[in-house]
Each structure stands twice: as structure tokens, then as C-alpha cells.
Structure 1
Amino acid sequence: MQYRLLGKSTLSVSEIGFGCMSLGSNDADNARLIHHALDEGINLFDTADLYEHGQNEITVGKALKERRAGVVIATKVGNQWKADGSGWDWNPGKAYIIASVEESLKRLQTDYIDLYQLHGGTIEDQIDDTIAAFETLQQQGKIRYYGISSIRPDVIREYVKRSHIVSVMMQYSLLDRRPEETCFPLLAHSQVGVLARGSVAKGLLLGKPAVPYLNYAADEVAAAATAIGKISGPERDAAQTALRFVLQQPVISSAIVGIRTGAQLEDALRAASTPALQDDEITQLTQAIAINKYDQHR
């Protein structure tokens, strides 16, 4: 397993991160899966207070309690469940964030969170108020670093300019290269690391029947999947090729992979050990489909 520093932080994170959102409801099964990942070198585990009404944090906390040292726990805040459980409201307010961290710490059974992330964000938010919450928590030692999870260039620019974020979680794949236009250059220049999600585009890059995706028509999606398949083989399957394409971007610190089963974990681990794509392979992939760009929140 290779490790990369997360932005300007001192956090050394595995280039394959464990996306905990996909975990099931059996704590014992989840613990076995998480411990296997740890044994194989994965040290970054990403969850959120939103997932399963906090149950995801609870199962992750149980699994990591006895192996906390050396583990990077990332969780998120900002989506407040409605009292009747029917959905959630966006709440990036300082008071809510400061109250929410206490609940996450309890569920995770830890004294501190390595990376606390704002789970979204809009340009209309009281951004300075939100930043003040994270800065306060950092000063109190309840979080080590903070970041945001967003695909909105206008929001990302404001946090880069006004805060001390060390990371941005955002979607990136061969079928979603929108971050390349402005976000990646800005984040690289500012030494903010990227946690990439959606690297296999809901499986569309792995041979699932092609359907429209973002602004791509089904035939364009199929062309991208075909390109992935052409440079894959016995030593590197389609999933591993798709992940290596993501990880070849220097600004990306880790690709967060949703893992629920042992087979999915093994696939992710193999991606970490497969060789990097050659320049000609990258060219084949990028020429297979026109690059897309953000058309909103620019």
C-alpha cells in the first residue's frame, strides 16, 4: 500500500480509502472487514453522521476502538435529520456543528476526529460562521484537521481562500473529469488534498449496461467503458484500471472506495498493488470521450 500526505496536514493516508457508507448492519461482520483492511494497509476510514442515522459511525467506532492508533477517521457534518426521520435539512451553522461533533465522538468512541468534513455547502451559507466552528473544534483538540465534501467550484474557492481546509472530497472518474478544469489546479496550488469518490461511476466503467450519465449519452458512456476494457487484462481488471486513472492525478491523496463485502475489499486492495498507467494508456482513456465541465456553481 502506498501512502500520501493529505494536503498540508501531517496525515499520511492510504491511497485507497475505505468508504464505510456501504457497510451492512452486522457489527461483527463489519469489524472483520475493517480489521482485514487495516491488516492490508488501509488506514483511512470515511463515514458521516448522516449515514444510517448515525449507526454507520457506531459500527465503525466499535471496529476501530481497539486499533485507534495509526488510523485516520474521517466523518462529516452539516445534514440535520428531521425529528420525524423523514429526511434532513442543511445546517452548516456554528452551534449545530459544535454540538454535532460531541455526538460523533461518542458514536465513534474516540476523543478526537482526524478529519472533520462539511458534508456539502452552498455559496449562500454563512461561510465564515461555519469556518469558525471548525477552527474552534481544532483549537479544542476535538478534531485534528477539517475539510469539505463538495463538487461546487464556487464553494471550494471560498473555502480555499478563507479557511485552513486540508482536503476536498469530490467525485472524479473517467466519466466525470469536471474537476480538472479549475478545481484541481486551484487545490494543487493551495496544497489542498483531494479525496476522490465515484471512481467507477456507479459501475458504468465496469461493464454495467450503458445509460446516460451526467451530460453523457449512453453511447458515450459505453465508449468510456470500452476504453477501460481495452487496456485492462489479467494483471489489472477494469475496476483497477479505473482507480489507477483516478490516482494518477497528483492532487488526489486517496480514492475512497465503498466496501461492503470481502470480495470488494480484495478488489480495492489489488488496485493498490497494480502498476500505474503508462502515458499512452492515459492518452487512450482521455481521448475516448470528450472532457466534461461544470455548468453550474462556477
Structure 2
Amino acid sequence: MTALTKLGHSELKIAPIGLGTMSLKYGATKQNIEVLQHAFDLGINYFDTADLYERGMNEDMIGQVLAPMRDKVILATKVGNQWRSDGSAWDWKASKSYIIKAVDASLTRLSTDYIDLYQLHGGTIDDPIDEIIEAFEQLVKDGKIRYYGLSSIRPNVIKEYATKSNMTSVMMQYNLLDRRPEEILPILKSKNISVISRGALTQGVLIDKPARSYLQLTSGEVGHARRNVEKLASSLKVSKTQLLLAYALGHPAVDIAAVGVRTLAQLNELKEVIERPVILAENDRAALEQGIRKLIYTEHL
């Protein structure tokens, strides 16, 4: 496993590959337990969940399985969405009182006295941002959370929290096809706020799934990008998975890539990434980006 790094200005020491657990559905099944335990054995120490996932069952499972190694893992969860009583949908609940109340339920489900990283699960520019920051700061003071962050792709929202708060990280989609975050990454880097990349593997369309449209990119453009990946992977003698994760992690602002897996086979595909990380030269990054239209945020502002 490669060396651990600090998440932003925090004291949390993380491995560069983390596990996004949303894909592990239906509770503590034998397969889910094996995936979580094997991920830990491989050196993964960052596990990301949310109170929204499966109405809290995902947190329950994470807490149950990781309890024996609690002091050796970084537990990250999210807050801000509340399921309706009939389970039909959820509503955005961005208030100080809700966040302070919701953390206790997450702590119980996670079988822990503290959450390492508590993230606002979304956010809009119209939220009571100062009040939300007060809630997170109160939870830090109370010892219920160690650090807090944001899970968002909205540049204006990210800028507000980066300016006003003491957050340590922002989780956002960042990959070869989705370079929209690059407009905000320099600001985060300058403030020592880590970026947690999600979606680095582009839903498989650059690996083994048929080329199709992706965001505003056409299937033809995705096919071109895939050829770039295949050519460089062959040249460097690495897998496409290794290459795409190396691309996301190669940006100076990105400290960790959270990858979602469902099976031991998928997890084992990460084994080589973890044991033999690839460092891309600037000309390698340029070769991957060649001919790929760079998108910009036109909504979610």
C-alpha cells in the first residue's frame, strides 16, 4: 500500500484509494461483509457512507462490520436529506437543528462515539450556510465529529464554504470525462481543503462497457476518449483501471479516490492499483486529454 496522506488540514491519515459503500446493498450479507473486510486487509482505511443510503441500513452494516477495527479506519458519512415517513422520497433538510439531531442517529447506526468526517450531502446557495457551519462546529466542539466537509458539485456553494468554514474536504465527481471541477480545484488547493474524487472510473464506459453518451459528451466523443485510454494503458503496461485512478489522483488538489465496488472480483481489480500506484507524467495526462472536449458547469450553480 502506498503511504498515507493527511486529508486537507486535518490529522486524518488516509490511503489514496477509499471505498464508497453505496453499492453494497441489502445489509450485512456474506458478500458485503467479505468485501469490507478484504478492503481493510488490502490497506483501504477510508469508508464512505451516508444516512440516506438504504434509509440508514448502509450505516448499520458499516458500523457492524468495521466495529472490530474502528480505531484503524476513517468513517465518513453524510447528512442533509431526510426520508419521508412513507419512504417514497426524501427532502432536503439543511438546518442547524436537523444536523445536530441527525448526527445522533448516525452515531448509533455506525456503532461509534464519533464520526471522523461528517459531510453535508448536497447544498444550495440559498441554504442558511452560516447556520449550517455553526452546526458542524458545534458537533466538533461536542466531540461527536472530528472534521466536516462537503459533498457537492456546485461551484458557488463550494466557494462559500471554502471561504467561510473550516471544512477539511469536498467530495465531487472528477474524472477524465468530467473535468468541470478544475475551475474550483485551485481555490481548494490554496486553502488546503482536500478533494475526494468520486466517479473516477467513469461508470465503466472507458473500461469495458459500451461507449455511450456521458454528461454532454456524445458516444463518439466517449469512444475517442476510450481509445486514448487504451493506447496509453498499453504503452505504460498498466490496466485501464489503474490509469483512470492515476489520472484523478494526479491532480494536486485530489488526495483520495473513493471507488464503489459490489463484489470481491471488483475489489481485487483495485489490488494492483493499491500495491503498484501509477504516477502519470504531464505528457501522459495531455495524451489522455487530447481531443476530449472540456465541459463547464452550466447548471447546479
TM interval, short-chain normalised:
over 0.9
Q: Give the CA deviation at 1:275.
A: 2.4
Match of 1:279 in 2: 282
Q: Distance in 1 between matches of 2:40 and 2:189?
A: 28
Counterparts of residues 22-101 of structure 1 (less than 5 Å): 22-25=23-26, 27=28, 28-101=30-103
- State the secondary structure of the residue aligned to 1:157: helix
Question: Of 99, 108, 111, which residue of structure 2 is paired with 1:109?
Answer: 111
- Whether the aligned pair in 1 keeps the contact of 2:27 and 2:58 (CA below 8 Å) is no
Distance 1:25 1:231 in 2: 38
Q: Structure 1 residue 37: deviation in Å? A: 1.2
* Cα distance in 2 between the residues matched to 1:222 and 1:215: 14
Given that 1:207 and 1:225 are in contact with CA atoms closer than 8 Å, whether structure 2 keeps it comes out as no
Q: 2:91 aligns to what SS in structure 1?
A: strand
Question: Which amino acid counterpart does residue 215 of structure 1 have in structure 2?
Answer: Q
Contact 1:31 1:62 in 2 (8 A): no
User: Counterpart of 1:217?
Assistant: 218
How many angstroms apart in 1 are the aligned matches of 2:144 and 2:27?
28
Give the secondary-structure state (helix, strand or coil) at the position aligned to 1:21: coil
For the residue of structure 1 that corresponds to 2:85, the secondary structure is coil
**Consecutive unaligned residues in structure 2, runs of 5 or more:** none
TM-score when normalising by structure 1: 0.96
Give the Cα–Cα distance (whole angstroms) in 2 for the partners of residues 149 and 269 of structure 1: 26
Conservation of the 8 A alpha-carbon contact between 1:46 and 1:74? yes
Amino acid at match of 1:175: L
Q: Which residue of 2 aligns with 1:137?
A: 139
Q: Give the aligned length.
A: 297
Q: Give the Cα separation in 2 of the matches to 1:95 and 1:134.
A: 11
Instruction: State yes or no: 1:175 paired with 2:180.
Output: no
Q: Does the residue aligned with 1:280 lie in a helix, a strand or coil?
A: helix
State the match for 2:208 in structure 1.
Answer: 207
Which TM-score applies when normalising by structure 2?
0.95
Runs of 5+ consecutive residues of structure 1 not aligned to the other structure: none
Cα drift, residue 99 of structure 1: 0.9
Relative distance call for 1:89 and 1:192 in structure 2 (3 A) is same
In structure 2, C-alpha distance between the alignment counterparts of 1:225 and 1:82, rounded to whole Å? 41
SS across alignment from 2:297: coil
Once the two structures are overlaid, the 10-residue window that deviates more, 27-36 or 13-22, is 27-36
Q: What is the rounded CA distance, in whole Å, between the counterparts of 2:208 and 2:297 in structure 1?
A: 26
- Residue 26 of structure 1 deviates from its aligned partner by 5.0
> Does the Cα contact within 8 Å between 2:170 and 2:195 map onto a contact in 1?
yes
- Find the aligned partners of 2:26 and 2:208 in 1 and give their Cα distance: 28
1:153 match: 155
> How far does the alpha carbon of each residue in 1:240-269 deviate from its partner, in whole angstroms, 9 at most, with x for none?
111110011121110000011111111122
1:166 to 139, 149, 168: 168
User: How far off its partner does 1:24 sit?
Assistant: 3.1
Aligned-pair CA distance for 1:214:
1.2
Q: CA deviation at 1:207?
A: 3.4
Offset at residue 282 of structure 1 (A): 1.2
> One-letter code of the match for 2:113?
D
SS at match of 2:127: coil
| In structure 2, C-alpha distance between the alignment counterparts of 1:288 and 1:69, rounded to whole Å | 46
Q: Which residue of 2 aligns with 1:194?
A: 195
Q: Secondary structure of 1:117's match?
A: strand
Residue 294 of structure 1 aligns with which residue?
297
1:203-257 CA deviation, whole Å, 9 max, x = no partner? 1111322222111111111111111111114942111111110011121110000
Q: Using the alignment, how far apart are the partners of 2:103 and 2:188 within structure 1?
A: 26
Corresponding residue SS for 1:10: coil
**Partner Cα distance (1:50, 1:61) in 2:** 15
**1:221 alignment partner, SS class:** helix
Displacement over 3 Å in runs of 4+: none
CA distance in 2, matches of 1:170, 1:203: 18
Query: Amino acid of the residue matched to residue 246 of structure 1?
Result: A
